[in-house]
């Protein structure tokens, strides 16, 4: 998990991560990224668009292939959570 967090930090170098259990911290950061919580509300993008941009960034990176797949898998899981919450509304 430490390698995943280091890989995430290398892609989003200015992101501050909260303290806590490594997996929870990483999942929270990815969820916040997909919800575009780091942007002003008027310019926020939809989760699908943020997922596309994040996927492109991960794939185009110099990370090891297994780290890329792990990060993408977490992105998919977090996007599915976001979509299930918004679908229930």
User: Is the sign of the CA dihedral 51, 57, 11, 40 positive or negative?
Assistant: negative
pLDDT recorded at residue 89: 62
Q: What is the DSSP string of 2-45?
A: HHHHHHHHHHSTT----SS-HHHHHHHHHHHHHTTTTS-GGGPP
Could you give the dihedral angle defined by the CA atoms of residues 15, 20, 26 and 29, in that order, rounded to the nearest 10 degrees? Answer: -50
pLDDT in tens, the chain (89 residues): 889 988 998 898 777 777 788 889 999 999 999 999 989 999 999 999 999 999 999 999 999 999 999 999 999 999 999 999 877 66
Domain count, the chain: 1
Range of the structural domain that residue 40 is part of? 2-88
Rounded to two decimals, the pTM is: 0.88
Q: What is the pLDDT of residue 68?
A: 97
What is the structure's pLDDT at 12?
84
d(CA 11, CA 20): 20
């Amino acid at each position: 998990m430490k390698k995943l967090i280091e890989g995430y930090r290398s892609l989003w170098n200015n992101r501050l991560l909260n303290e806590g259990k490594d997996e929870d911290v990483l999942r929270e950061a990815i969820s916040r990224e997909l919800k575009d919580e780091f942007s002003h509300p008027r310019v926020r993008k939809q989760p699908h668009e943020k997922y596309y941009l994040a996927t492109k960034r991960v794939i185009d990176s110099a990370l090891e292939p297994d780290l890329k797949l792990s990060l993408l898998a977490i992105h998919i899981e977090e996007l599915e959570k976001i979509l299930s919450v918004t679908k229930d509304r």
